[in-house]
């Protein structure tokens, strides 16, 4: 064992080594399951093919709401909105609130100050 004035390393006791290993194991047990459960997101067909009525620079927020209703989520004071969608044959339909967790598609729309779609993307969540 060294004193405060010495510069040599402080030897570890078996108890401190066990605590360090236990802390490491607990950390791994908590972090690894969380890290492995992130959702797998993959792009699906391009939105113009799937939702031809949406055109960047031309489609308005009111046209989108007329088709899909209120968005599932909104961000940045409604500048970005998302809709959870389900496929109905060749068409995409907004999922009712109670079905949203089971809807495999999400439409993300970004609007400008004039409430016109600037950018949009359709992603398949699973």
pLDDT of residue 58: 96
The token pair that represents 20 in the structure block: 């360090």
Query: Any idea where the domains of the chain sit in the sequence?
Result: 42-124
Task: Find tokens 């010495």 and name the residue.
Answer: 6
What pLDDT, on the 0 to 100 scale, is given for residue 89? 85
Please classify residue 110 by burial: count the beta carbons closer than 10 Å to its beta carbon, then call 0-12 exposed, 13-18 middle and 19+ buried: middle
The answer to which of 8-17, 50-59, 69-78 has the lowest mean pLDDT is 8-17
Residue 48 pLDDT exceeds 60: no
What gap in Å lies between CA 44 and CA 49, rounded to an integer? 10
Between 43 and 95, the higher pLDDT residue? 95
pTM above 0.95, yes or no: no
Map tokens 């004039």 to a residue. Answer: 114
Adjacent-strand bridge partners of 125: none
């Amino acid at each position: 064992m060294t004193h405060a004035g010495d510069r040599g390393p402080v030897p570890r006791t078996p108890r401190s080594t066990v605590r360090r290993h236990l802390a490491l194991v607990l950390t791994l047990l908590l972090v690894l399951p969380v890290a492995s459960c992130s959702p797998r997101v993959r792009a699906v067909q391009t939105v113009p093919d799937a939702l031809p009525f949406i055109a960047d620079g031309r489609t308005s927020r009111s046209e989108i709401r007329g088709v899909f209703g209120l968005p599932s989520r909104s961000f940045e004071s409604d500048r970005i909105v998302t809709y959870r969608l389900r496929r109905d044959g060749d068409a995409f339909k907004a999922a009712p609130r109670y079905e949203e967790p089971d809807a495999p598609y999400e439409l993300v729309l970004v609007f400008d100050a004039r409430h016109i779609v600037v950018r949009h993307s359709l992603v398949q969540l699973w």
